[in-house]
Structure 1
Amino acid sequence: MIYVGAKLTLALAQDDFRDRQPFTTEIVDIHDQTLHIEYPVNPETGKPEFLFTGTECIAKFLGKDEAVYTFRTEVTGRGNEQAPVLHMSYPGDDQLMKIQRRKFLRVPAELDVSVRDSHQTFSPFTTKTVDLSGGGLAIETGHTPFIQKGSIIHVWLVLPFKSNEYHYINARAKVVRIFYDTDENETVEYASLQFTDIIEQDQQEIIRYCFEKQLEKRGRKYNIRNN
Structure 2
Amino acid sequence: MLKSSGGKFVRLDVTLDTAIYPEHSEFTPFRTLTEDISAGGASIRLLIGTAIQSVSQLYLWMPLTLKSGEFHYLRLKSKVIRVTEKSMEICCCTSNFLNLQKMIFRH
TM-score bracket, normalised by the shorter chain, equals 0.7 to 0.9
* Aligned residue runs from structure 1 range 69-84, under 5 A: none
How far 1:103 moved relative to its partner?
1.9
Q: Find the residue that maps to 1:171 and give its secondary structure.
A: strand
The within-5 A match list for 1:58-97 is: none
Equivalent-residue separation in structure 2 for 1:151 and 1:201 (angstroms)? 20
Which has the bigger relative contact order, CA under 8 A and spacing at least 6?
2
Deviation at 1:148, TM superposition (A): 1.1
Match of residue 25 from structure 2 = 120
| Whole-Å separation in 2 of the counterparts to 1:163 and 1:105 | 27
Q: Is the counterpart of residue 195 in structure 1 residue 101 in structure 2?
A: no
Q: Is the 8 A contact 2:32 2:44 kept in 1?
A: yes
Matched with 1:159 is 64
Higher radius of gyration, 1 or 2:
1
Distance of 2:67 and 2:22 partners within structure 1: 31
1:103 corresponds to 2:8: yes
**Structure 2: segments with no counterpart, 5+ residues:** 1-6
Pair 1:133–1:125, CA change in 2 (3 A): same
Identity, % of aligned positions? 31
- For the 8 Å contact 2:14–2:37, the answer to whether it is kept is yes
Scaled by the length of structure 1, the TM-score of the pair is 0.39
8 A contact 2:74–2:103 mirrored in 1: no
Confirm or deny that 1:149 pairs with 2:54.
yes
Q: CA deviation at 1:163?
A: 6.3
Structure 1: tracts of 5 or more residues without a match: 1-101, 203-227
What is the aligned counterpart of 1:171 among 76, 86, 89?
Answer: 76
Query: For the Cα contact (< 8 Å) 2:47–2:89, is it kept in 1?
Result: no
The residue number in structure 2 matching 1:213 is none
Call closer, same or farther: CA 1:147–1:138 in 2, change over 3 Å.
same
Over aligned residue pairs, what C-alpha RMSD do you find? Answer: 2.3
The TM-score normalised by the length of structure 2 is 0.77
Q: Once the 2 structures are TM-superposed, how far is the Cα of residue 143 of structure 1 from its aligned partner?
A: 2.6
TM-aligned CA deviation for residue 109 of structure 1:
1.2
- Count of residue pairs the alignment pairs up: 98
- Counterpart CA distance in 2 for 1:169 and 1:163 is 17
Residues 187 and 200 of structure 1, relative CA distance in 2, 3 Å threshold? closer
Q: What residue identity is the alignment partner of 1:175?
A: V
| Equivalent position SS for 2:28 | coil
